Structure 1
Amino acid sequence: MTTAHIGALKERETLRLCTAGSVDDGKSTFVGRLLYDTKSVLADQVESMERSSTDRGFDGMDLSLLVDGLRAEREQGITIDVAYRYFATDKRTFILADTPGHVQYTRNTVTGMSTSQVVVLLIDARHGVVEQTRRHLNVAALLGVRHVILAVNKIDLVNYQESVFREIEAEFQRIATRLEITDTTVVPISALKGDNVVERSTNMEWYTGPTVLEVLETTPVSGGRAEDLDFRFPVQYVIREHASDYRGYAGRVKAGRVAVGDTVTLPGGRTSTVEHIDTSDGELADAPATVGDSIVLRLADDIDLARGDLIAGSDRPAESREFAATAVVLTEKDLVPGAVLTLRYGSAQVKARITSVDRILDLDGVADTLAPEKATLNEIAHVTIQTQLELPVEDYAARGAVGNFLLIDPGTGNTLAAGFVGQRLR
């Protein structure tokens, strides 16, 4: 391998994707096929899978065994919300979030999709679009996922019939259009046989579109990135050295970028200029700090800031004590109007009250529940929240770079709900 080739591999883009689907839609086999055909599994794993397949009397290789360790752990009572897999091709590297298929694990699906750029939604060709298909599409729309691949799996079990595929494709596109998910690809696959996952099928002359991997390798990853937003820097810690008059504001860049000489906005309408950017490797003077960088900002003015304050660019969000939001209930403790909780937004942690639970979203597409008495485990609700102090809240964007929060039980410290500023999916 040449130096140039090694350098090209290091510069590959990374795509984050999430798999979702109903129980028994073949999701484990699909993930196994993707890993196996991209040569992303070790030789000893393949040998173990082959032995286990033979021992179980399986005709061929049971690729689902490549992820069966996670299933065994669940059977032993170990909770794994979302399983992450890593694989790569010559064109890209991938981080795959594998989510549970059961309805009662909607909250886990939200977790997996919340950081994903692409959702691969599997359905069984024999059953077509079902309740979970609509539910997962609604969650994808809720989280602002732009790219959805519908993998119509087990197409071999319907004799590779084009008519079956086209009927499913049409119904899926109707739902996606209603939810304003416009970037979609529908691919007929057999994860078990290997059709159209990584390798192109020879069993469906009528299908001339891309394989699932080809879509994953060509989907743009630049749209909706945190790097494209205005600068956001929640202060996590204030560093003071009285002997040297050093005052720095430590934290991590959540959105945008910042460089020495930039003007930043501060609470109360104040502004200042960035004079120094310190990192663990020394001062950053010739390049900007970008999303994910942990830095210490030193400003031109001696300003009293504290943990939870936001240092931002010119497009600073307005501060408010009340806002509308969408919340996903994560525990068996209900969200009820009037409940006093702790809200964590960025690095700020303030007392908050649920002013109202406005509606429960019906992810099956029938009818929302208006003005409910409460929101329960796995339900997604529109709520109105009032905070004790003003916060610079803004609508959810860029897979949680801005606009996300947690609601915490002040008595136990348990996280009750994850939320997104703004009410979506009306």
Structure 2
Amino acid sequence: MPVETVFLGTMRAMANRSCSLHIPILTAFLILLSTGNGFAQNDYKLDDADNWQLVNQPDPSSPAGALARARELLAQGQADRAYNMVNRWLERNPDSSLAADAYLLRGDALVAMADYYESLYDYEYVIRRYPASPTFTLALARELEVASLFAHGTLRKVFGLRIGDGTEEAEEIFIRIQERAPGSQLAEQAGIELADMYFRQRRMELAADMYAIFLEKYPKSPFIDKARRRLIYANIATFKGPQFDIVGLREAKRELQELIITRPAEAERIGAQALINRITESEATKMLTTAEWYNRVGDPIAAEFLIRNLVRQFPQSAATIRALEQIPGILDQLPPVILATAPNYEVLRQAILNRDRAALIEPVEPMPEEEPFDPAAALPPVSSSDSPAPPDQTSAEDLRRAMERAESPIALPPGNDPVPLPEENP
């Protein structure tokens, strides 16, 4: 396992437990960290008996030997001594080629002492001052882990007390890592961490945007399934009620339909079809709420238009039933020219209620899939003359064309009593 991976895993464990108990565990790995240039560290190799043998040791009196000794102290759990030793080293060797390693080591010592926020100063100095150094990537990885600790609730010290919130610093670091190392595994990890932090904080608009960006930039990421699921959940969570915007629900519905086609097993696992049904009902409720608002502000024409579209688009929703119960009061306010183009809502209501009642009485005989129920077919035919239209003209297509012709009156089929229209007020 790479040494850097061990370091990252150790820091994550420290976020959930007492830091003082894990300092020896953390520092035991810091001595093994590689900087890529081969200086300031002991070199080992396996012998024929699979034992580690020291093959290269820097001179203890040299700058490289002093840094190696500081690493040993850090690995032994003496983070404070290692920190002081690196401080003195930097005072004596400010322009050394090992300065980047020294700053990185001092930041590691601060992390071992649980001074996470202070360690960011050294890591940031390495990143800005030595962008071509092998320590650049290591410093980014250290910042990523510190930001992850802050994002998961670790507080930073303020006046010696761990009372400061570090989520703003974590957010900034996650964004900077993606800018400084685009397309890398560090950037990928920072992207999913940032999206997850938004999701935990219930900042669903930002979470949805971040998950969408992540799916676009990292289509082969191991976190792709998680990002896809949470994008759907975040979009659904952005819907605050039928009085507010519904764009998030429509995005979630589109993503669920795509998931059913591309990954049916995953869609079945998360209950995609049930979510689509709930979203569809919410869309219908949103349309009914808008129609009610138009009716309250004195625009019955717009209210009737929305209810007409509601019946067409969502005939099997509960919102449609409620709309058909409210439509008589709206029809009473319509002018005759608009009322003449309105469908027979009473016929529609009876057709929907009768169908629901039949489904409850005879559940063993569902309607054929090739012939879904269309309430529009229950509307009376449209005649171009004053005489009633023949029964063979009551198809749904004739109804749709009839509803688009404002000049055509609505007539009931033979044998039915026509619904009287309200008289026009002089």
**TM score, norm. by length of structure 1:** 0.20
Larger Rg: 2
Q: Which structure features the higher share of strand residues? A: 1
Q: Which structure features the higher share of helix residues? A: 2
Q: Which structure exhibits the higher relative contact order, with contacts defined as CA atoms closer than 8 Å and separated by 6 or more residues?
A: 1
